[in-house]
């Protein structure tokens, strides 16, 4: 079992401290507020949270949980410190780091007096890059030591919901953390070893980003449900029933399929149906700011890809895939067809590898009205072999994933200019020659 000091007896800190102690760890809770410290030491919860009073009383009675205002002594008495202080918005809306920096400085001052290795693990919500750019430098300056070598550093975001925090702690939907070295990572692995979900060990920045993505996604879901509910009500429909049925579809609606960052959406359904719902909302006098932003954001993703191609300086472009998705010849509102049209209009030479569109053209079954009039002279631009497309292009623009193209594209990704909108290889990250649109 670990010896852990928890800095901040607020909502996250006191729940974390109590649950860690209840699990058998030796925990010291630290706060500047003597009233909170006294409450914990008396076996009482300083906040109202279902089930927390009983856990704190049990942990204090067992001797595994105590509270103090002496942060330095708490660090000296423990092997790891969890930082759980607030990060309220500053006046500009940015994350406020006053309390995080203050605690990091205090812990840094304390660990320089220790002979043993100490891990500093931030749980406060901080934007990607804060650990590297703020927390680690503050700790190193205060301690005169090197992070990842003389002391440990980790980031371990929490996903506790008020009123269900205890249940969330013991039955989490996600456990993710990052660490600079193995000893801190092992502490976090051990703490979570008995949890019902696996621990995901990532970089510090990734862990920071996951926390913000998670909270923002929750906010988007609430806003979307409310917007649909408002439109439904104005149309004489029960919005809660609509969303209940939406959530019943776990194959498509509640699915990771549409949650992969990449290129814009298109096709014969999504764009026109978003427009139609926008029109209905306007006709019934219901504001629809989220739906209004969807098509704007989708257009911006096409703009982003266009800029990436322009930045490559290429004169000739080899486009892999032009239908709105793999496995079809349908070009209706295909964002790839729109991108191709823009590049052609700028004077770039463009050729296309798309086996399904080529098959339809060769068989004479590609009917006008399915979007193939968007790209000038499309039949003459089609190339039958991916190798020929690669050989004749300054930049390869990968729009759709076709299995027969993966090996040839991977083989040239290190020395040929390649703009990837679909991710041909999860090990590749933007590096100058290879550019992924979201990675």
Binding-site residues sit at 31, 36, 87, 125, 159-162, 211, 258-262, 266, 272, 325, 332
| Count of C-beta atoms within a 10 Å radius of residue 194 | 8
181, two tokens: 């070295």
**With contact defined as beta carbons under 8 Å apart, do 298 and 275 qualify?**
no
Residues facing residue 121 across a β-bridge = 82, 154
Phi and psi for 52 in degrees, rounded to 5? -75, -35
Query: How far is 278 from 271, CA to CA, in rounded Å?
Result: 11
Q: Report the run of H or E that residue 207 belongs to, with start and end.
A: helix 204-234
Q: CB neighbours of 48 closer than 8 A, spacing ≥ 6?
A: none
DSSP labels, 223-237: HHHHHHHHHHHHTT-
CA proximity to 129, closest of 69, 196, 206, 201? 206
CA proximity to 125, closest of 32, 15, 10, 209? 209
Q: Is 69 exposed, middle or buried (0-12, 13-18, 19+ CB in 10 A)?
A: middle
DSSP, res 133: I
CA proximity to 211, closest of 274, 147, 152, 124? 124
Query: How far is 221 from 32, CA to CA, in rounded Å?
Result: 37
Q: CB neighbours of 253 closer than 8 A, spacing ≥ 6?
A: 246, 247
CA proximity to 29, closest of 59, 62, 58, 1? 59
Residues marked active site are found at 269
Query: How far is 120 from 48, CA to CA, in rounded Å?
Result: 28
DSSP, res 131: I
Q: CB neighbours of 238 closer than 8 A, spacing ≥ 6?
A: 232
Q: CB neighbours of 275 closer than 8 A, spacing ≥ 6?
A: 295
């Amino acid at each position: 079992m670990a010896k852990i000091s928890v800095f901040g007896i607020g909502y996250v800190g006191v729940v974390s401290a109590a649950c860690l102690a209840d699990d058998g760890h030796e925990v010291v809770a630290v706060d500047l507020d003597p009233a909170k410290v006294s409450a914990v030491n008396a076996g009482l919860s300083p906040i109202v949270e279902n089930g927390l009073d009983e856990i704190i009383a049990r942990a204090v009675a067992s001797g595994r949980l105590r509270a103090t205002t002496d942060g330095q002594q708490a660090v000296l008495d423990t092997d790891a410190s969890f930082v759980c202080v607030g990060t309220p918005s500053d006046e500009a809306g940015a994350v406020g780091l006053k309390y995080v920096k203050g605690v990091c400085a205090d812990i840094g001052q304390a660990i320089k007096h220790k002979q043993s290795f100490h891990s500093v693990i931030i749980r406060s919500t901080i934007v990607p890059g804060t650990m590297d750019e703020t927390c680690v430098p503050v700790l190193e300056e205060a301690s005169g030591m090197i992070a990842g070598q003389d002391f440990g550093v980790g980031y371990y975001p929490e996903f506790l919901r008020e009123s269900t925090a205890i249940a969330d702690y013991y039955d989490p939907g996600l456990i993710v953390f990052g660490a600079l070295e193995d000893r801190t990572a092992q502490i976090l692995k051990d703490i979570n070893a008995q949890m019902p979900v696996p621990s995901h060990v990532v970089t510090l920045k990734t862990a920071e980003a996951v926390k913000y993505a998670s909270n923002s996604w929750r906010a988007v879901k609430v806003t979307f449900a409310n917007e649909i509910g408002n439109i439904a009500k104005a149309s004489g429909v029960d919005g809660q029933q609509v969303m209940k049925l939406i959530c019943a579809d776990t194959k498509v609606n509640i699915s990771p399929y549409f949650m992969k960052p990449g290129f814009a959406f298109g096709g014969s359904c999504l764009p026109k149906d978003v427009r139609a719902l926008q029109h209905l909302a306007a006709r019934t006098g219901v504001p629809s700011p989220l739906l209004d932003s969807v098509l704007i954001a989708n257009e911006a993703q096409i703009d982003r890809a266009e800029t990436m191609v322009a930045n490559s300086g290429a004169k000739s472009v080899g486009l892999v895939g032009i239908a709105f998705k793999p496995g079809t010849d349908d070009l209706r509102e295909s964002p790839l067809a729109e991108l191709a049209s823009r590049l052609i209009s700028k004077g770039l030479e463009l050729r296309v590898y798309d086996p399904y569109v080529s098959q339809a053209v060769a068989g004479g079954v590609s009917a006008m009205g399915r979007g193939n009039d968007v790209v000038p002279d499309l039949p003459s631009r089609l190339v039958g072999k991916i190798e020929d497309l690669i050989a004749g292009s300054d930049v390869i623009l990968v729009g759709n994933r076709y299995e027969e193209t993966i090996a040839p594209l991977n083989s040239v990704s290190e020395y040929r200019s390649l703009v990837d909108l679909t991710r041909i290889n999860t090990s590749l990250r933007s590096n100058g020659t290879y550019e992924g649109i979201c990675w």
